[in-house]
A and B are shown apart, each in its own frame.
Chain A
Amino acid sequence: MIVQLRQLDRIHVQAGLRVPVLREIHLDIAEGEFLSIVGPSGSGKTTLLNVLGLMDHDWSGEYWLDGSAVHQAGARQRQALQRSAVGFIFQHYHLLDDLTVAENLELPLSYRDLPSTARRERVQAALARFGLEGKKGLYPAQLSGGQQQLVAVARAVIARPRLLLADEPTGALHSSQGREIMALLTELNREGMTIVQVTHNPEFAALAARTVELRDGVLGAA
């Protein structure tokens, strides 16, 4: 199991009120699995993804990631774990406007101890693999939405994470562009990458081997 959540609770404090967002989550994700999370808006999908991606640590319960006890880890360990294991794709791409496509791809590598030649090789490889060679000098504003998300996917996987988290990766794209991104995710999964995606699109949810549903912070089978 790459992910094991036990009795995980996440409570938001809003205007002095304690609002439970995730309740007693119990979730196992096997290495190499492709999991879809669905659920109505506000049900806690993004929150769950943030917990999985180690962006959030204000929860209680147990979380084992790749054998490490996240609930016992300090900030430093969490960051190391995140760097080595997790990649993110966002609904709004979140490319950095001032960096070119190539520079955006290089960014995660620059935060990891990698010699610059190795970095350049990997960027080159990613550009080739995702068909972005012709675009490497362009800025995000010069790309279409689909192309931007393509870059975001490339950026998410360039550091070779074991767990790829995608929060509505197709949410801002029209359907043909969405399909391309989904094909890419399927392909990555086939190559062995564990993928967890949040989606509202039943067609895309169905591409995953397993789908779970969140309702008011409670996890159930779809």
Chain B
Amino acid sequence: MTPFWFELRLAARALLRSPAFALTAVAMLAAGLGACLYMYGAVHAFLLRPMPLPEPERLVHLEYGQSGGFGNIEPTLADFVEFERTASGVDDLAAFYRGTVNFSGDGERPERFDGAYMTASGFAAFGVAPLLGRTYARSDEEPGAERVVVIGFQLWRNRFAGDPGVVGREIRINGRPSTIIGVMPEGFRFPFDDQLWVPVQRHPPSVARAQGVNVDVFGRLARGRSIDEAQAALQAQLTRLNEEYPGQVGGDLALVKPYQEEFVGDQTRRILTVLLVATVLVLLIACANVAHLLLARGIARTRDLAVRNALGASRSRLALGLAAEALLIAALALPIAVIGAQLGGDATMAAVRHGADPPPFWMTEWRLELSFLGVAFALALASGLFAGLLPGLRLARMATAQVMREGGDSGGMRTIGRVLIVAEIAMSVALLVAAGLMVRGVLAMQSFDPGVRIDHILTARLGVFESTHPDDAAVLEFQRRLREELAALPGVRSATLSSALPMGNQGSSTAIAAEGQVIADPARTPLAFDVRVSEDYFRTFEIPLVAGRRFDARDRPDSEPVVIVSRHYAERTWPGEDPIGRTLRLDRADRTEAPVLTVVGVVGDVAQNASAVIDRWAVDRPAVYRPLAQVPTRFVSIALATEGPPEALANALRDTVARVDADTPVYWVTSLRKALDDAMVDHRLVGILLVIFGLFSLALAASGLYAMLAFAVNQRTREIGVRRALGASGQAIVAMVAAQGFRQLAIGMVLGLLLALGFGSALSAFLFEVSGTDPASYAVAVLAFALVALIASVLPARRALAVQPMEALRHA
């Protein structure tokens, strides 16, 4: 038998003989490993897992930046056409934009899908062939071409029961007759999470270049080309474009990046990193604890070790024996950790999928991949070695030293123990601070007053297309009837339509310039949320009227154009003056094309954008409201103020829409409260995770502290007995034990607070109305830790008190 197996067998026997120790150690390591693996799984899914496409590393995304300004500007379709003409370095240059696709005309209820309006080249760029039929061609994009659509696997299976004869079927897309020409295979839901592909409509040459839609441009790096080369090529094209059309191109810097990075923002990347670091700390704490337990066990067995040494065991052999125990513990903890991480991962991914803005499908699957198991194994091995070799080497040295009568080396042992504890305390305090910050942020977010009623509001969205509602009058008539019928539903107090919901994602912004207002730099004209609303909007959301009037039947398409502004805007723009009757334009201060609007009312401030909740955009950001009647809008949100639970009216709402127009699907039917909760899912998740990790670390550090002190008391039984015999009082003994923990506690806490500052600044972008150095969070973390540490120290101190000097000295 090799020495390793022999030692392993001895270690197994030793663990079996002390099951309490074994269980404690396994549980600690499993908690640390599990947390770490769980986060690694998330990082892997979101950042590392390649897109399920052939050669995903060659897919790149092309965009603009402005020198000295913003990045991530999407080119216009017109710009794309230019790039396409002169493309170099990137194969199959493609463009898409995403939008609502209403699917009907096949005898079933109309349904709304996220669809991609994509160039034909997109299919080639993704490198996936259709399952049935064909994908469309460049010629299908020309104005006037017959309308065709490619559908996704799920849509095909769910709506057409997987009928192979679906190719060639006539259906209606956004009310227009179209032909299904192909079905994509399962798992192809690109560019994002799409189920339908419709050819991009190339603009007729008459459309001004700056007015075209913005598109996402992507493609496949030509073989042998690097991203930098592609970026240089794009830069050359962009520079030429800027020279040719000065002032009409969105940016002057070309950016080419891996397509993968399109899906995960900087913020997500950062928060994942923070969480990963947090779990690594938890694992380190767990390892330190196990090392500490092994150390304590080993010291109690130094006589055995010394005897083995006297019998010829080398120092490394002794260390191996001790490390073998740690490796066994890690091996036992590994499967528990993997299963725990798997369960946690599944639950988390389910929560993320149901959030307001979920990541694409392939990221939210928690799969037990080989790489994951590899990392799990490596982590377990590393933690086993860390937890085992540290005490092992130390103890082995001590044992040999004893045999040689050099005198005790327990000082060095204790130093290691102390350093471990200090590190544990520091890491735990830092994690607790991070958890505290996040909890405060989430609480602030939840108690945040958006300026509108949130409960008892049912919301939904729908849109009508030119095919069924060709002009503004038809759209308005549809919206008028819809609102009337909704308002008449039993249980509905009031009904309203608006271009966007408060705290929703559909809102848009506009420049705003009051007449007579001096704006020094027209390029920096203030921005305002631009909301078009029907009658009863302010009543439904209970937004208070501060001055003037609300919109009513007076506001017609042909009457004077009017606007209602938010209180803060009015106060800032016309301080001390009556805003009613003032005029403004929704455009840059140096332009005069936009119509002049007359202010007829002032209403309370409202957080109009979801970002207001999440990114701390102040509620007092200006908002302007215009009547839908004067600014016809095809896509609107419905809001019903209900008497009872809003969800109870969901079906009545759907039926009403179907009654008014059988071809128009209604979607996103949910209560405002739920929509808001969904918008906060990510934040709450991060908060919950940090709290869990914080509590893990607290429990681990506290038990580490306890174990250290209890062990010290054990070690010092004789000493305590001597001190008692020499006259030490109970108080003196307790003080002695507590003082031992106190130094480590103080140092650990100070280090922990410093570490926490790092967490705080990494989290700060994610904290709602809480600073990364929020003193309350730091204080609470320190107090919580101190309290738990106190309990962890009092118990061993009481044990020290119970030491009977007679007993302690009897068996010296």
Contacts and interface: CB of A to CB of B under 8 A. Distances in A.
Interface of A: 46, 50, 53, 55-56, 79, 82-83, 88, 90, 92, 94, 96-98, 107-108, 111-112, 139, 141-142, 155, 159
Contacts of B718: 94
A50 B805 CA distance: 10
A213 to B, nearest CB: 22
Contact of B726 (A50, A98, A108, A139): A108
Given A141-B407, A142-B407, A83 B725 contact: no
B740 to A, nearest CB: 12
Contact of A92 (B408, B723, B812): B812
B34 to A, nearest CB: 39
Contacts of B754: none
A79 B727 contact: yes
A108 B809 CA distance: 17
Contact of A88 (B410, B726, B729): B726
Contacts of A97: 408, 410
A198 B410 CA distance: 33
B497 to A, nearest CB: 81
6 closest Cβ pairs, A-B complex = A141-B407, A111-B727, A83-B727, A108-B726, A92-B812, A94-B722
Contacts of A50: 806
B411 interface: yes
Nearest to A161: B727
Nearest to A46: B810
A55 B728 contact: no
A68 B197 CA distance: 102
Interface string B726-739: 11110010000000
A111 B812 contact: no
Contact of B806 (A55, A83, A111): A55
A46 B728 CA distance: 21
Given A92-B812, A94-B718, A96-B719, A159 B806 contact: no
Interface in B758-812: 805-806, 809-810, 812
Nearest to B808: A94
A139 B719 CA distance: 15
B735 to A, nearest CB: 12
Contacts of B727: 79, 82-83, 108, 111-112, 159
Contacts of A112: 727
Contacts of A108: 726-727
A94 B809 contact: yes
Name the interface size band of chain B. 20 to 34
Nearest to A54: B725
A93 B375 CA distance: 54
B726 A111 contact: yes
Name the prevailing secondary structure of the A interface residues.
loop
Contact of B809 (A90, A111, A155): A90
A155 B726 contact: yes
Given A55-B805, A55-B806, A79-B729, A111 B407 contact: no
Nearest to A107: B726
A88 B433 CA distance: 51
A69 to B, nearest CB: 21
Given A111-B729, A141-B408, A56 B806 contact: yes
Contacts of A141: 407-408
A206 B98 CA distance: 108
Nearest to A159: B727
Interface in B578-616: none
A90 B722 CA distance: 10
Nearest to A140: B407
Nearest to B729: A79
Nearest to A88: B725
A141 B411 CA distance: 13
Contacts of B729: 79, 111
Nearest to B726: A108
Contacts of B809: 90, 92, 94
Interface in B646-667: none
Contacts of B721: 94
B407 A107 contact: no
A90 B411 CA distance: 25
Contacts of B732: 111
Nearest to A82: B727
A96 B722 contact: yes
B723 A107 contact: yes
Nearest to B732: A111
A214 to B, nearest CB: 17
Interface in B698-740: 718-719, 721-729, 732
9 contacts: A53-B725, A55-B725, A56-B806, A88-B725, A90-B812, A92-B812, A94-B722, A96-B719, A96-B723
A139 B406 CA distance: 12
A155 B726 CA distance: 9
Contacts of A142: 407
A29 B724 CA distance: 25
Nearest to B728: A111
Given A82-B727, A96-B723, A111-B728, 8 more contacts: A55-B724, A92-B809, A94-B809, A96-B722, A107-B723, A107-B726, A111-B727, A111-B729
Contacts of A88: 725-726
B381 to A, nearest CB: 37
A155 B411 CA distance: 23
Contacts of B806: 50, 55-56
